[in-house]
Structure 1
Amino acid sequence: MQAIRDSEEGLPKLKEVCLYRTTANTAGGAVAALLGSGKVPSVEYLDVVLLLFDEEGLGAVEEAVRTGNFPSRLSDPFTFRLCEEAGNLNVDGLITAIVESENGLPPVVHSLNLRGGRIGEGTLAALAASSGGGVSGGKFSSLFFLSLRDCAIDDGRLRQWGEILSAHVCTELEFLDLRDNRISVEGVSGFFAVLTPDALPELKMLHLFTQEGLEGKEEHRGFVSSVRALRDAAHAEGKLLKWKDVTAFREESSEEESEGDESDESESEGDGSSVDEESSLESSYPADESNSQS
């Protein structure tokens, strides 16, 4: 892959790349760098669509995103995911690359999993203030899945994400994971307040539970009740209209679910298991069937 990138002409007629039974998905930076180099412009098929990034690979993908020369005919959507083993990586460079790219995140990237990553307030402010790009006027216009789980997001950063998602309307985003952060009821209220009605028109799943500071069943239930009230108020303002189920996909046992009130049961759409929806949604992409990392 490096040799192709370094060559003067590249492989301009190459249409298919088969990396089956290799560990190419763990070298996501090298794969992304090749695709973003402009040296394989005719590629239509690549059988590795889950790309994992460690610290070194993250630098490569930043440059690939910044240049934005991904093949326009790629047929299958990609998942970009940080390696869990890499720890709390600083992803400011990736966010900055998205800001600086004319088209934002490449349209072929439908899933962006930044679980465990760290993003500075200044970087988020720059993203919120950046002008639109992409096919639909936003930096994340083709994104279906966004995980910001365990990203040290507090109430202030959550409000910034609300500003970002309003400035760069995510017309395709259906799943947003905000678990394992430092978000309070006040933070959720601030997030909803800055969202515009057209910010997340397709959002169906919003993970907010297992926040730092929530202790015991009573505090958890109080948080659920408050979030439900905030959701209803958001609906009254025409926001997040497709997000119906507040309690779905909680990482609780089915026994604990059964202890909830009847209104919780009526709103829960068949979820009685401790399914990690982050993994099950990403497993819809072909590469994850044999390369699950969760």
Structure 2
Amino acid sequence: MILRNLIPLVISFILLSCTSSEKSNFDVQSNSDVGMYNEAMGYIKSKEYEKSVEILNELELQHPYSDLASRGQVMAGFAQYSLNKYDEAILTLSKFVELNPNHPLLPYALYLKGYAYFERMPDVTLDQKFSVKAHDVFSELENRYPNSRYAKKSKTHIKTLKNHLASKEMQIGKYYQKEGFLLAGIKRYKVILKDFRRTVHVPESIYRIIECYISLGLRNQSIYLYTILNYNFPKSIWKSEALDLLKEHKVNRNLKKYKKKELDLEKLDSRAFDLI
């Protein structure tokens, strides 16, 4: 997994006073915060995550005001993640984020929390609560720490998540349309246009709305949406399909009256789709 490949980076960034990777060199008999922290780091380096979590939890209990206890929360979250204990990792990292609003490890903690959701992104046919939560956490990271190296990593994940969530909306919209619930289907397709406008599903969502509008007798709205589709995706197969559909139903394709209307999806206010 991507995050597990970050083990050397994370430890080199956080480890303070270890001079050797051998556990025997750690001050294992010491109850000091430094001794406990370094011992836990040794277990993480050797991938003995259960032992590291035990020590880091004890570090927090014995030295609650130590900066190493705060850092230990992040590393405990990493160890729990590495054990596939995702919910425990998320709780640990959420606690750290809440109690340490200005800590330098916050970007990493948010990234790790988001990835604990992201790694469980389910098939598009299933409930998407983990996908939504991953998107929210990565978006928070990008907004709060736009220059962080982890914010840059998050952008790729956000793009993947948006396409995935748009695919879910498309699936539900098609189901409603197939069952004859056209307004419910249109509502789902419009979610894609409003919330996931830069995804690969936008051209098809416009086409599906045109299909529904023609079925409902809303010809003017169909023409306007075709104009938007043609303007933004002139080479899309869905533009060609829409044109064939309009011809089949003998919808007048006089586009002159729409020339003064906004057609660029990047400039259209999301609320405009409620009026189309």
* TM-score of Structure 1 vs Structure 2, range by shorter chain: 0.3 to 0.5
Structure with larger Rg? 2
Larger RCO of the pair (alpha carbons < 8 Å, separation 6+): 1
TM-score (ref. length: structure 2):
0.32
Which structure shows the bigger proportion of residues in helix conformation? 2
TM-score (ref. length: structure 1):
0.31
